[in-house]
Structure 1
Amino acid sequence: MLLGFSSGIIGSFSYLRKQSLMGDALAHAALPGVCIAFMLSGSKSIGLFLIGAAAAGFIATFGIGYITRHTRIKQDSALAIVLSVFFGLGTVLLTHIQHSGNSNQSGLDKFLFGQAASMVGDDVMVMTVTSVLLAGICSLLYKEFKLLSFDPGFARGLGYPVAFLDQLMMFLMVVVVVVGIQAVGIVLMAALLITPAVSARYWTEKLGVMVVLAGLFGALSGLAGTFISANGSNLPTGPLTVLASTAVFLVSLGFAPGRGLISKLLIRRTAKRRYTQQLASTAGYELERKEKAL
């Protein structure tokens, strides 16, 4: 629930800035950082993994920005390039670790690709502190993040440190990814970042309400995925959490007032009925006027 809540909050700003793929790129970029941290320390410490993944995330964001600014390659292509390169490097390093004979590497692949059962009390504490800090930072910088999401040029004109805020948002996304990969995995973490935000967007036109709803939808997905996994046999928690988040999205897509498919269908039918009634009324009026004229 904590992971889903924090992911929904950060994912809302990423989604509104049209950087949905950025979460996927940062998630894949975390893999070589985690592997290098393990190779240097020889232990599976989530604190060291956080440092390694954060460093890899910063390098990835710098690489994306450099490619976009100094070449003709657009951001979506730069994201795909960085994602592929970092994930390929991470896979090579992970294979090297698995064949190194280090006894501590046992279970590292499951940690990287998601296994909530491997989490212990300290991991939950780290996740709790991280969620509180992320929610607090987003609350304190809500106005700045809002302006950055909708009009970064205007924010720059007002004197806001746009580059710093942009890097801070990227850092917060990296933190969420690193904390969440143990439970959900690198590949599925991007879905948990974006899906609750997309679902919340269907229900409101206000950013504040959207951020809160995205956090609640993410928490609900985490609760549902864990509940189903705990009460079933051989059912992985991470994928079930993502599937629960997808189920929330499908409900939002179908039943959200104003923007949902059913709501739009009803609106169209009502408009069509009114138009038909208006035509019939106009035709009746014209017929009555012609009869009077005769």
Structure 2
Amino acid sequence: MNGALAFLSDYTIQNVAFGAAILGTISGVLGVFAVLRQQSLLGDALSHAALPGICLGFLLAGSRSLPAILAGALLTGILAALVILVLTSRTRLKTDAAIGISLSVFFAAGVVLLTYIQGTGNASQGGLDTFLFGQAAAILRSDLYVMGAIALVGLGIVAAFWKEFKLVTFDPDFAGSLGMPVRRIETALTLLIALAVVVGLQMVGVVLMAAMVIAPAVAARQWARSLGAMVTLSALAGIVAGASGALLSSLASGLATGPLIVLAATLLVIVSLLFAPQRGILWSVIRRRRAAHHLRGRQVLATIHDLASAHHDTSYPAEQSMLDAYHGLGTGAVLSRLEGRGLVRRTTHMPQEGPHWELTEEGRAQARESLGETPPESA
């Protein structure tokens, strides 16, 4: 117990865990709007577009000053977002093409600037390339204040314009008919994604930041039925993924924090896709099996009913082997389930020919209902 407390009281571990929680919250909340607006790749484009801003911030500050680097990253991220919006609104390019162009151009410019900086011999540029994949262990308490301030600004804007963001996300045409500035609101949502990207640069880096924007929202989408619930669950998923990845990297020396955070978020997505009620793959398989069993049961009931009608005997005993031959499969399991539901019962009739079955009164009623027949008493 004392060892665990000592571990959690470690200064570096605390910084990493708090930073991961901040990142998980802001990326989880804002990622929801990107996923619902079918702009999941937007986070990828804006995170890669942050690289030239990181380099420009370093060149202007002359050192690895986090405020300057994040300001530069935010600037180029916003510029990339505006390029995407202009290309989609002023040309015939689709959104995916505009995102691909913006991502490639800005990331290429960032690589050129990074190569230039590395060739200048500036001693303070050491470790600048860690922004590609993140270096959570280097986070200081002062860095947390900067990250927290940016996150609070983003969350505050979402809270202030919640109704507008919600309406534009789900029905932009209706929002436009109400006189809302839809284009400006969509631009604001896009720029907020850039804020989330900036918060996560030091934690998970340029390359992996897109996963933190998408994964928590995708996981939350499987469980939630409303926007408020989805945003809350996405933020929680982001916090869990960030904190667990950060703690795992602290327990095992030599493991990078950023990739572990992304892997933890991916694990949450896999679990959600498999086990979430209603939308999970497992529940879908169960529902399909139940539907298939129900359909097969109705077919067998209808066959026994048709045989009884053809023989003008409501208690006609249908031979199981004949039912097997008619349906082309073994009906024993189906008949057992129907018997358990009180729809059919075994009957003694020519034992040498195998088991026979007849409909109960409830079974006859269900068979008539499935066939759309009118009950005899109401005829």
Aligned residue identity for 2:219: S
Selected match of 2:285 from 234, 251, 265: 265
Range with bigger deviation, 60-69 or 97-106 = 60-69
Aligned residue identity for 2:254: N
Separation (CA, whole Å) in 2 of partners of 1:54 and 1:125: 17
Separation (CA, whole Å) in 2 of partners of 1:274 and 1:120: 61
Structure 1 equivalent of residue 130 of structure 2:
110
Aligned residue identity for 2:33: F
In the alignment, structure 1 residue 143 sits paired with structure 2 residue 163: yes
Give the alignment's TM-score, normalised by structure 1. 0.95
Range with bigger deviation, 173-182 or 282-291 = 282-291
Change (3 A) 1:70 1:141: closer
Contact 1:49 1:178 in 2 (8 A): no
Separation (CA, whole Å) in 2 of partners of 1:236 and 1:161: 43
Selected match of 1:24 from 40, 44, 48: 44
Selected match of 2:204 from 179, 184, 192: 184
Selected match of 1:231 from 230, 248, 251: 251
Written as runs of structure 1 = structure 2, the 5 A alignment for 1:234-249 is 234-249=254-269
Structure 2 equivalent of residue 63 of structure 1:
83
Q: What is the deviation of 1:70?
A: 3.1
Written as runs of structure 1 = structure 2, the 5 A alignment for 1:28-107 is 28-107=48-127
What secondary structure is seen at the aligned counterpart in 2 of 1:235?
coil
In the alignment, structure 1 residue 155 sits paired with structure 2 residue 175: yes
Q: What is the deviation of 1:205?
A: 2.2
Whose radius of gyration is greater, 1 or 2? Answer: 2
Aligned residue identity for 2:124: N
Separation (CA, whole Å) in 2 of partners of 1:113 and 1:89: 18
Cα deviations by residue, 1:186-239 (Å, 9 ceiling, x for unpaired): 010000100111111111221111111111111110111011111112111100
Q: What is the deviation of 1:43?
A: 2.2
Aligned residue identity for 1:4: G
Cα deviations by residue, 1:27-80 (Å, 9 ceiling, x for unpaired): 111111121121112122222223212221222122222222333322211110
Aligned residue identity for 2:49: A
Q: Please, what is the CA RMSD of the aligned residues?
A: 1.5
Choose between structure 1 and 2 for higher RCO, CA contacts under 8 A separated by at least 6 residues: 1
What secondary structure is seen at the aligned counterpart in 2 of 1:185?
helix
What secondary structure is seen at the aligned counterpart in 2 of 1:101?
coil
Q: What is the deviation of 1:112?
A: 4.2
Structure 1: gaps of 5 or more residues = none
What secondary structure is seen at the aligned counterpart in 1 of 2:175?
helix
Separation (CA, whole Å) in 1 of partners of 2:267 and 2:59: 39
Q: What is the deviation of 1:175?
A: 1.4
In the alignment, structure 1 residue 201 sits paired with structure 2 residue 221: yes
Aligned residue identity for 1:40: L
Contact 2:151 2:195 in 1 (8 A): no
Q: What is the deviation of 1:141?
A: 1.6
What secondary structure is seen at the aligned counterpart in 2 of 1:44?
coil
Aligned residue identity for 1:69: S
Change (3 A) 1:59 1:130: closer
Structure 1 equivalent of residue 270 of structure 2:
250
How high is the sequence identity, in percent, across the aligned residues? Answer: 46
Aligned residue identity for 2:65: S
Aligned residue identity for 2:52: P
Range with bigger deviation, 225-234 or 160-169 = 160-169
What secondary structure is seen at the aligned counterpart in 1 of 2:223?
coil
Selected match of 1:214 from 234, 248, 252: 234
Q: What is the deviation of 1:178?
A: 1.2
Separation (CA, whole Å) in 2 of partners of 1:117 and 1:146: 37
Q: How many residues align?
A: 294
Q: What is the deviation of 1:97?
A: 0.6
Change (3 A) 1:80 1:146: same
Separation (CA, whole Å) in 1 of partners of 2:208 and 2:83: 23
Range with bigger deviation, 268-277 or 135-144 = 135-144
Separation (CA, whole Å) in 1 of partners of 2:77 and 2:90: 20
Change (3 A) 1:195 1:178: same
